[in-house]
């Protein structure tokens, strides 16, 4: 049976948040679907859905994510709209995604992965290593804050939320002398110049799934599955399968900072992972390799090894 392709009269509805980065990711998804199926732009309708995470009264208050709902802040309303039939697919930053999807939804399409590295951003300091003693650094990321506190316990770390423009304004106003963003987001927004430079994973291991766009659909929607299969990046999927298995085995809902990165070398996947105390006082890290097809098993085994080495009370839930 021929696939029922989207058309201007019956477009595929793409759900997304309304931030500049979220829209850039939705536009990239649309462009790839247009190219894969030789369809016009108006065969796709981008639907902006406001999530709890877009409530400026919450975000601008610089409160930690754990106090206002965790990762689900950025996905809940979009997923509800998809389950209700209001949209057909949803585009997400994978580092924002919980390891488990609501019943009836599935994530099995990933776009080619962007730069996984963190970006060092500062109007006055050239490099991370040049931060003066006692400098104020802003970040909302549990992982980045813990990694920085471990490396530089002298620094003063403050909560720092908002989009790129909001964070740059805070730096200009002297709220902090530096912050961090994802290189992937800056690249997608055409704002690479904002970064003083990228921080190599050996120096600051990134968040699980950083730099990857995932596309969610209803589990029973065979049409959407067929459309998305044409733009799925196998290599990104193999890396994410390993990293997300690692995160799930550590319980990604906990408030313990977690970092992880899977890299492919031929038919082998290498996974590096670490867990940290939120105050940076202790880091437990390890790495391992496995055949690519065994990536999820490697993720689970590495997580179990880190858990076994963690002292009692190391993990915390908020």
Residue range 156-186, pLDDT digits in tens: 999 988 788 888 899 999 999 999 999 999 9
Residue 108 and residue 34 share a domain = yes
What CATH number corresponds to the domain at position 128?
3.40.190.10
Q: pLDDT for 43-81, tens place per residue?
A: 999 999 987 766 555 454 455 555 545 556 678 899 999
Among residues 199, 224, 258, the one where a domain terminates is 199
Residue 75 and residue 16 share a domain = yes
- Residue 133 has a pLDDT of 96
Residue 226 and residue 184 share a domain = no
What CATH number corresponds to the domain at position 282?
3.30.160.40
- Of 88, 96, 115, 221, which residue is the catalytic one? 96
- Residue 150 has a pLDDT of 96
Q: Is 188 exposed, middle or buried (0-12, 13-18, 19+ CB in 10 A)?
A: buried
- Residue 1 has a pLDDT of 61
Query: pLDDT class for 31, splitting at 50, 70, 90?
Result: very high
Residue 104 and residue 49 share a domain = yes
Q: Which domain, by its residues, includes 150?
A: 118-199
- Residue 107 has a pLDDT of 95
Residue 192 and residue 101 share a domain = no
In a domain, 287, yes or no: yes
Residue 91 and residue 38 share a domain = yes
Residue 274 and residue 250 share a domain = yes
- Helix, strand, coil proportions of the chain in percent (round to 5)? 40, 25, 40
**Is 286 considered catalytic here?**
no
Residue 220 and residue 94 share a domain = yes
> Is this model's pTM higher than 0.85 or not?
yes
Residue 302 and residue 251 share a domain = yes
In a domain, 1, yes or no: no
Number of domains within the chain? 3
Region 96-120 average pLDDT: 95
- Cα 282 to Cα 308: distance, rounded to the nearest angstrom: 15
Q: What is the sign, positive or negative, of the torsion defined by CA atoms of 235, 237, 240, 242? A: negative
């Amino acid at each position: 049976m021929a696939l029922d392709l989207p058309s201007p009269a019956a477009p595929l509805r793409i759900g997304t948040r309304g931030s500049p980065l979220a829209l850039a990711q939705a536009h990239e998804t649309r462009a790839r679907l247009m190219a894969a199926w030789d369809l016009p732009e108006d065969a796709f309708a981008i639907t902006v859905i406001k999530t709890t995470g877009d409530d400026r009264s919450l975000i601008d208050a610089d409160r930690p994510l754990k106090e206002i709902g965790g990762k689900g802040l950025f996905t809940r309303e979009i997923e509800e709209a998809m389950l209700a039939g209001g949209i057909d697919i949803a585009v997400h930053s994978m580092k924002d995604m919980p390891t488990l999807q609501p019943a009836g939804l599935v994530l099995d399409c990933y776009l080619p992965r962007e730069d996984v590295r963190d970006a060092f951003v500062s109007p006055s300091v050239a490099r991370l290593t040049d931060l003066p003693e006692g400098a104020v650094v802003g970040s909302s990321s549990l992982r980045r804050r813990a990694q920085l506190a471990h490396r530089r316990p002298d620094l003063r770390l403050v909560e720092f939320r908002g989009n790129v423009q909001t964070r740059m304004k805070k730096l200009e106003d002297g709220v902090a002398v530096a912050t961090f963003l994802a290189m992937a987001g800056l690249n997608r927004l055409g704002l690479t110049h904002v970064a003083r430079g990228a921080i190599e994973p050996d120096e600051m291991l990134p968040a699980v799934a950083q730099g990857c766009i995932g596309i969610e659909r209803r589990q029973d929607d065979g049409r959407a599955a067929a459309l998305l299969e044409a733009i799925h990046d196998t290599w990104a999927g193999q890396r994410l399968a390993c990293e997300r298995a690692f995160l799930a085995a550590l319980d990604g809902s906990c408030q313990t900072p977690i970092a992880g990165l899977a890299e492919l070398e031929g038919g082998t996947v290498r996974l590096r992972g670490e867990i940290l105390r939120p105050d940076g006082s202790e880091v437990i890290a390890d790495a391992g390799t496995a055949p690519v097809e065994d990536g999820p098993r490697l993720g689970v085994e590495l997580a179990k090894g880190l858990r076994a080495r963690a002292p009692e009370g190391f993990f915390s839930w908020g």
